[in-house]
Amino acid sequence: MKTIAVYCGASHGATPLYAECARALGRALVEHNIGLVYGGGKVGLMGVIADEVLRLGGEATGVIPRSLLTREIAHDGLTRQFVVKDMHERKAMMSDLSDGFIAMPGGMGTLEELFEMLTWAQLGIHGKPIGLLNVNSFYDGLLAFVRHQRQEGFVRAQHVDLMLFEADPDALIRRLRAAAPSSKQPV
C-alpha cells in the first residue's frame, strides 16, 4: 500500500479532538511510508493532515476542482497538486491515485465521497479497502443506520463489512493493509 485517499472536512469541527486525530493520522501515514491523497485544500482538517504529513517529510498529493481553488483555498506546499474540472473528476482521480480510502469526520462532501467509493466497491469497480476513522464515536450513527439497511434487506452483509471502523489511526492503517487489493478481489 503506497497511498491512501483521505476524505475529511474543510472545517475543524466542534472539538479540537478532530484536528488532533488528523495530525495523528498524518503521523501514522508517514510512519507506515504511505503517501496522502486528499482534496488539496489548506483549510480545516484537510489542511491539518496535509501540513502534518509534509512537516514529517511525507508525500501529500492534492486533487482540487477549479471551482474550489478559492473556497477551499488550495494548499500551495504540496508534493503534487492537480487542478481538475469538477468533483466527478476529483473523485475519479483520487480513486486512481490511491490504494485505499479513509473517511475522517467531515460533512456532506466527506459522506458523498465515502459512499461513492463504497458503491464502487459494491459494484466491483474497485477492490480497495475502505476505513472510517471513528474518532469521538463520529461514525457510530452511520454504522447503526447501515446495519438497519441490512436488516431491512437493502444492503448485503458483505457490503456492510466493506467498512472498517477504528478509532485509532495506526490500527486502521494496519487493517487497511491486511485488506489491501493484492489480497482481495472486488466483491
- Which cell numbers in the block locate residue 179? 485488506
Q: Tell me, what DSSP letter sits at residue 56?
A: T
pLDDT of residue 86: 93
Domain that holds residue 67: 3-178
Q: Is residue 69 part of a domain?
A: yes
Going by C-alpha positions, the residue among 135, 120, 185 that lies closest to residue 165 is 135
Q: Is residue 19 part of a domain?
A: yes
> 51 CB contacts (<8 Å, ≥6 apart)?
26, 42
pLDDT of residue 182: 56
Instruction: State how many domains the chain has.
Output: 1
Distance of CA 23 to the CA centre of its chain: 14
* Whole-number Å distance between alpha carbons of 161 and 74: 34
Q: Is residue 183 part of a domain?
A: no
Q: What is the pLDDT along the chain (187 residues), one digit of tens a residue?
A: 999 999 999 999 999 999 999 999 999 999 999 999 999 999 999 999 999 999 999 999 999 999 888 776 899 999 999 999 999 999 999 999 999 999 999 999 999 999 999 999 999 999 999 999 999 999 999 999 999 999 999 999 989 999 999 999 999 999 999 998 654 444 4
Q: Is residue 184 part of a domain?
A: no
Q: Count how many residues are written for the chain.
A: 187
3-state SS, residue 31: helix
Domain of 112: which CATH number? 3.40.50.450
* Whole-number Å distance between alpha carbons of 35 and 180: 15
Q: What is the amino acid identity at position 28?
A: A
Q: Is residue 128 part of a domain?
A: yes
| Greatest pairwise CA separation for the chain in angstroms | 47
* Whole-number Å distance between alpha carbons of 154 and 174: 30
* Whole-number Å distance between alpha carbons of 39 and 155: 29
101-103/35-38 β-pairing: unpaired
Q: Is residue 186 part of a domain?
A: no
Q: Is residue 185 part of a domain?
A: no
Element (H, E) at 108: helix 108-122
Q: Is residue 34 part of a domain?
A: yes
pLDDT of residue 72: 66
pLDDT of residue 183: 44
Q: What is the amino acid identity at position 181?
A: P
CB 10 within 8 A of CB 109: yes
